[in-house]
Amino acid sequence: MTTTQRYAALGDSFTEGVGDWDAASPNGVRGWADRVAEQLVLADPSWDYANLAIRGKKMRQILDEQIDAALALQPTLVTIYAGANDILRPRIDIDLLMARYDDGVGRLRDAGADVVLFTGFDASGSAVFGRTRGRTAVYNEWVREIADTRGATVVDYWRLREFQDWGYWDVDRMHMSAAGHTLMAVRVLEAMKTSHRIDLPELEARPALKRVEQLWADAQWARAYLSPWVGRRLRGVSSGDALSPKYPTPGHPHWATVPA
């Protein structure tokens, strides 16, 4: 008798898959977690998959709304990345935030699930988001300590220097592109010591821009992406407010080909 294994992905836009645009997928995105799930199913069709992540969610929302929902699914494996949207806020009590994160991870581990955590990305190359680098470094030390204490696996996003190449980022400069999500799926599977059949994409060469061209591109980006992002935060709304989880019920999504 085959025992069902179940993977539940929790978090915000990073795990939902924003930037890896796919009109055939729920919420219009695919993402690294979907790609990881596909590889698990290809290797062993007893795997089921649920993705409860929703873009824009902060730590408290993820812990309050997604932990219990995940536990109800009796997961074998949980990936969770929470806190990135909190770090970007003007004020944050990061120690209190991470103590709550520790509790949430502890509940998942106590239920018997293997847990994969993520450190935050080193945004030193961003003139806007690089200002949060110190907060992210503190967050990362907390994540590593939680992982050590709880027996979780860490995908060290901070140390994945490949992601300093803008070819792995969407035009909004905030979310990974399809290439970035593909690379992240490989790094997650590697951290889990799981084999895969993913071919990494070759990035297109990007021509160097002259200073005036770069300034124009930055201005266009700020108008199209940064200003709306700031505006939503000032209004206290999120791009994910009207969205539901992509895959709330465990199963094999349409892209997961189950071996015969």
| Every domain of the chain and the residues it spans | 5-251
CA distances from 113 to 67, 183, 257 (A): 12, 24, 25
**pLDDT level of residue 4 (50, 70, 90 thresholds):** confident
pLDDT exceeds cutoff 80 at 82? yes
CATH number among 3.40.50.1240, 3.40.50.1110, 3.30.830.10, 3.40.50.300, domain 5-251: 3.40.50.1110
Cβ-based neighbour number of residue 126 at 10 Å? 16
The neighbouring-strand residues paired with 50 are 8
Rg of the chain over Cα atoms, rounded to whole angstroms, equals 18
**Category of 253 on φ-ψ map: left (φ > 0), alpha (ψ -120 to 50) or beta:** beta
pLDDT in tens, 36-46: 999 999 999 99
The predicted-structure confidence for 183-199, as pLDDT tens digits, reads as follows 999 999 999 999 999 99
Tokens of 22: 């796919």
> What's the pTM?
0.90
